[in-house]
Amino acid sequence: MTNIENNTVFHLKPITEDEVRPEIAVLLVDGEEIVGAYKTVRDQMIFTNKRIISVDVQGVTGSRVSYSTLPYSKVQFYSIQTPGLAEIVADSELTLAFANGVNIIFEFSGKCNVLRISKIIAQYLL
């Protein structure tokens, strides 16, 4: 489900760090921290202070898992949209444009600190 192609849109719901798949800890490099974790139905998107890790759970049993990395260093442009004040269900959006021409849109339902994610991306890019 988390195949990353041009103009991909991901609809994400927040999860706690306790709900992040345990093998993600092995993938993190020294100094890398999780700043946000989100899921679709079975798949996860983990935002760190260095990259986005996509976890694609495959097959009926879910025993096969594919991991992809989206490094902030390859982002050429990004934009965010914060939730409105009177929205019943707060939702926000992050759009990333990568150097290879791929654009990805992350739509967050519920509580998401998209401003914090924006700051981390900006710190990495600027």
Question: What's the token pair of residue 116?
Answer: 């914090």
What pTM value is reported for the model?
Answer: 0.84
User: Position 87: which residue type?
Assistant: E
pLDDT-derived band at 90, boundaries 50, 70, 90: low
Calculate the alpha carbon distances from 121 to 26, 69, 115, 124 in Å: 22, 15, 10, 5
* pLDDT tens sequence across 38-73: 998 889 999 999 999 999 888 787 788 999 998 999
The pLDDT, as a whole number, for residue 89 is 59
Which CATH architecture describes the domain 8-125? Roll (2.30)
Distance, in Å, from the CA atom of 7 to the CA atom of 83, rounded to the nearest integer, reads: 21
Domain boundaries, the chain: 8-125
